[in-house]
Chain A
Amino acid sequence: MSTESENLESLVNRRYEHGFVTDIETDSLPPGLSEDVIRAISARKNEPPFMLEWRLQAYRQWLEMQEPEWAHVHYPKIDYNQISYFSAPKSDEDRPKSLDEVDPKLLETYDKLGIPLHERARLAGVAVDAVFDSVSVATTFKEKLSEAGVIFCSFSEAVQDHPDLVRKYLGTVVPRRDNFFAALNAAVFSDGSFVYIPKGVRCPMELSTYFRINAANTGQFERTLIVADEGSHVSYLEGCTAPMRDENQLHAAVVELVALKDAEIKYSTVQNWYPGDENGVGGIYNFVTKRGDCRGANSKISWTQVETGSAITWKYPSCLLRGDNSVGEFYSVAVANNMQQADTGTKMIHIGRNTSSTIVSKGISAGRAENAYRGLVRVMPRAHGARNHTQCDSLLIGKQCGAHTFPYMEIRNPSARVEHEATTSKISADQLFYCRQRGISEEDAVNMIVNGFCKEVFKELPMEFAVEAQALLNVSLEGAVG
């Protein structure tokens, strides 16, 4: 038995493959946070006065807030004055008009990550708005999208070109003072993506953004806003990797989704940030606020995520089911290995009539990792006929890891039907021996079992993303699975 667990341990101890730093000159603000820093960010981005005002109010609110401590995670106190709040590639003044103008070093980085940008974009028909550090440097397929009336651009561009839309929807799903990290983001967010799908339009391609954190000591504060107007449909993909480094990096993103009447938004994430070394040193802190608002009747928002990275993950993509008959979904695979800590889950807030939600959460723990699922299902008094089904499964690999489930239910309407199922299982030595006796290596056997465990979530991912997610799981479970 002891040999078995040693083998598992060595399997689990695969190194992070995407650890490298691209050497591009950056134009960063010195570390520290103050109203002047916020004014500087806003000025550098040439923002209209309403944006600056919004940021300043958020900052003032943030100053009065406390960092939350309720999550099942542990980390040293963050000194927010040691973080640099803005970092843009040098060429910010003179943005590239096409990929030919993009810094070749950057393209190289994408190659290392296995994302040949132009190739991939052309072959797969995917428009890519590549966020490198904080400012978008390449946006493709824009023309084709604009033919359909779809707006897909960096947040900064949206502020310049579509200020009315930004003003109308910004902060309407995640208010400035929603939580500590959301307020910080509102004050200092650097860039992100903006999507608007007009009435009745089915977005002709999947929209994809590859995020990448670079520039040592620069906190990343992305902000994404997706608005699906009445009867429209969009599928959005978000994927991330980060370079290896020594100091912890804070990442506090905000994602807001708005689905109006009969609209549908599918938001898929594959997250692969640096988790730190075997002892948890140097990984990313990922404190994210993601929320979707099913504002209109019959609207639908679906979150699918595969989380393998970060030292600490604190993330609860949620749905506000306001519209009658609206639908919220959450499909998640969260892997925690070595010293990783994940506290993730979802919130489904049933407000409208006949609203329904589905939660499928698969947590995998290996090494000495701690993986917690935290989910809230709230049925408001007027939400007649609300339905929820929650399925929450944990898989343990080895003997030193932990899985925790914290389901919360607040039901204030007697007609609600709420179901919760939870299981915990282990990859057993017998299962591994059985596979090995059939000629399959232990590593492949672990991957196979983990993939089987995650199948229900993977099938929700767009095809090419599913393949990537599977590969990623293999790498992170080579520690722990694919």
Chain B
Amino acid sequence: MTMLEINDLKSRIDDTEILRGLSLTVNAGEVHAIMGPNGSGKSTLAQVIAGHEDYEVTNGTVAYNGQDLLELEPEERAREGIFLGFQYPVEIPGVNNAYLLKAAVNAKRKHQGLGEVDAFEFLKLAREKMTTLGMDPKFLNRGVNEGFSGGEKKRNEILQMAMLEPSLAILDETDSGLDIDALKAVAEGVNALRSPERAIILVTHYQRLLDYIRPDYVHVLSQGRIVRSGDKSLALELEERGYDWVREAANG
């Protein structure tokens, strides 16, 4: 069934139009990869879905499980099951990583009419997930992303995703700056989440990630629009021919 339906979406930041009529349909159970050159609007798409207020939507609709997503506050979208893995996760000094994670889990549970998670259970679950991600449990007691390396920040995003079990996960350049071990760990974390009830959108510049997370669809974004869609082979074609080819296609 259709989970996310984006129709003719236009969005701008300040006076610059970035998305210029983007349409995309994502069904439950699918993994979509969004590729494209720098500045094509990949991250903007992720931010608009998550509800970042700097991006103004000037046209189009976004429906999520049948409801108007653009009407919801960012935190409401999150509680409804939308997760954004940030390209540059922000540091929040002094706020304990475990504390943020628990608050996030409880905010969602409250929204679902469930009671707060028991501290003991929470820690047990978090430690399990960290072991699979190859993270030292000490990270729970550090400030959120405070002094984390690039790879540690990305793993931390995947940990949050694993704990929150979103319906729709959008991972914005989660592969950038990762060494091969970190990339594999992150991919395992994402693959573990794949299920018929969930959808995943991978925003990436390189096809390397797609060797580890096999997408059902690949879309190429250029100048704020999807100019090509295909399967995994499209990613390989891009790798071979570069982005100039799609740019020309978009202009032509």
Contacts and interface: CB of A to CB of B under 8 A. Distances in A.
Interface in A423-447: 425, 428-431, 433-442, 444
A444 B103 contact: yes
Task: Say what secondary structure dominates the interface of chain A.
Answer: helix
Most B CB within 10 A of own CB, among A3, A451, A452: A452
B95 to A, nearest CB: 4
A132 interface: no
Given A433-B52, A452-B143, A438 B92 contact: no
A447 B95 CA distance: 10
A195 to B, nearest CB: 34
Contacts of B99: 448, 452
Contacts of A433: 52-53, 74
Contacts of B104: 438-440
Nearest to B82: A437
A4 B95 contact: no
B207 to A, nearest CB: 27
Contact of A431 (B74, B83, B92, B164): B92
Interface string B137-163: 000000100000000000000001000
B38 to A, nearest CB: 20
Given A436-B78, A437-B84, A449-B95, A428 B103 contact: no
Contacts, number: 78
Nearest to A454: B94
Interface string B111-137: 100000000000000000000000000
Nearest to A423: B93
Given A4-B53, A439-B78, A449-B95, A434 B108 contact: no
B103 to A, nearest CB: 5
B87 to A, nearest CB: 12
A452 B107 CA distance: 19
A434 B92 contact: yes
A270 B142 CA distance: 28
Given A435-B100, A438-B160, A448 B95 contact: yes
B100 A448 contact: yes
Most A CB within 10 A of own CB, among B74, B100, B104: B74
A441 B74 CA distance: 9
Most B CB within 10 A of own CB, among A3, A428, A439: A439
A431 B89 CA distance: 9
Contact of B79 (A4, A434, A439, A449): A439
Interface string A56-72: 00000000000000000
A442 B92 contact: no
B92 A452 contact: yes
Given A4-B53, A430-B90, A436 B75 contact: yes
Interface in A370-421: none
Most A CB within 10 A of own CB, among B94, B100, B103: B94
Nearest to B79: A439
Contacts of A439: 75, 78-79, 104, 107-108, 111, 164
B61 interface: no
B74 A436 contact: yes
Interface residues of B, number: 31
B107 A449 contact: no
Nearest to A395: B94
Given A4-B53, A431-B90, A439-B104, A452 B75 contact: no
A3 B53 contact: yes
B86 interface: yes
Contacts of B86: 434, 437
A39 interface: no
A441 B103 CA distance: 10
A440 B95 contact: no
A449 B50 contact: no
Contacts of A429: 54
Contacts of B239: none
A221 interface: no
A453 interface: yes
A437 B108 contact: no
Contacts of A437: 50-51, 74-75, 77-78, 83-84, 86
Most A CB within 10 A of own CB, among B73, B100, B160: B100
A455 interface: yes
Given A438-B78, A441-B75, A449 B92 contact: yes
Contact of A438 (B54, B96, B107, B143): B107
A452 B52 contact: no
A123 interface: no
Contacts of A440: 75, 100, 103-104, 107
Given A431-B90, A441-B107, A442-B75, 15 more contacts: A3-B53, A425-B93, A430-B90, A431-B92, A434-B90, A434-B92, A436-B74, A437-B75, A438-B103, A440-B75, A440-B107, A449-B94, A451-B94, A453-B93, A453-B94
23 contacts: A1-B54, A425-B93, A434-B89, A436-B51, A437-B50, A437-B77, A437-B78, A438-B78, A438-B100, A438-B104, A438-B160, A438-B164, A439-B75, A439-B79, A439-B108, A439-B111, A439-B164, A440-B100, A448-B99, A448-B100, A451-B94, A452-B94, A452-B143
What 10 pairs between A and B have smallest CB-CB spacing? A452-B94, A452-B95, A439-B107, A438-B104, A439-B78, A436-B74, A436-B75, A439-B79, A430-B90, A434-B90
